[in-house]
Amino acid sequence: MTENSHKMTKLAPRVVVLAYDGLCTFEFGVAVEIFGLPRPEMGDNWYQFAVAAVDDGELRATGGVRIMTDGSLALLEQADMIIVPGWRGIDSPVPSTLCEALQRAHQRGCRVLSICSGVFVLAAAGLLAEKRATTHWRYTEALQQRFPNIRVVEDVLYVADDTVLTSAGSAAGIDLCLHVVRLDYGLEAANLVARRLVIQPHRDGAQKQHIEQPVARSRESQRLGMLYDFLYQHLAESHSVRQLAERVGMSERTFLRRFQVATGKTPARWLLDERLQLAQQHLANGRENMEKVAEISGFGNAKNLRLRFQQHLDISPLAYRKKFTATNN
């Protein structure tokens, strides 16, 4: 595929990242690096980016950095996605003006994303009630105790529940942001961004924050990385454990163990989750009929697609599409 084939044709999503006094610079930098840098290789429709101030006056970030912003919370009114970096402290109150601005954005269908302790901002705004969410392992217990109506998912990298997305510690924020790029622009675009960052593009959201036994040799890690890329490009096909093990040059037993350690899932569950995400993306775009979506995403037929959606997402594919259609109109 030529470089020109990566050019974007969709309207550029407007991304607004929050800045505040006491800003967590790493998490803020993640948002800037992935969504705020010029990327001419992606064409003219890459993300539009702005920084919105939560507080009045001078904003000081960790490390003695001073922050200049593009505007106030009014910028959130036109955002397609809002990013909340790690909050200045889980015990620090969240301003009511910020909560109200996030509520309005969420109600009109804006995607809202948090990194690390930024989840406490979304929780304070009421955006996570009865939703699945995660955060850094140090904060999961506090999050669950303070907000018992949140379905806290422990020891995963990130969770996407409808238009609200949450991630664990700092590096997991990179994984979540790359996941968003993959949803918006496809696998190859996400891989290009990851290569510029010199990181692997394929860490799945359900991978554990704590890896009890890391992949033993870099050669095995590289082979699994190539396998993930292969599977992303062939989700519509059937894959047996034997075939996958042969592709990476491992015995079936070793492959299953290494795959589970690396992703926190069996190959079958990993494939199911990725196919569900792909189906959600096509349903949200609203162009293909149900049979075509089922075929593209690897479910074979519309009946199986409906079954899997009901079992794992508790919603029908048609209802999911209507939800997004209503949001975008």
Catalytically active residues, by annotation: 116
Contact yes or no for 68/91 (Cβ under 8 A): no
Shortest CA distance to 279 belongs to which of 240, 323, 309? 309
- Which of 57-90 are b and which e, b meaning 16 or more Cβ less than 10 Å from the residue's Cβ? eebebeeeeebebeeebebbeebbbbbbbbbbeb
**Integer Cα distance of 311 and 320 in angstroms:** 14
Phi–psi pair at 18, nearest 5 degrees = -85, 145
What is the CA 279 to chain-centroid distance, rounded?
A: 16
- Whether residue 170 contacts residue 116, with contact meaning beta carbons closer than 8 Å, is answered with yes
Residue at token pair 């030529």: 2
CB-based burial label for 263 (10 Å; 0-12, 13-18, 19+): buried
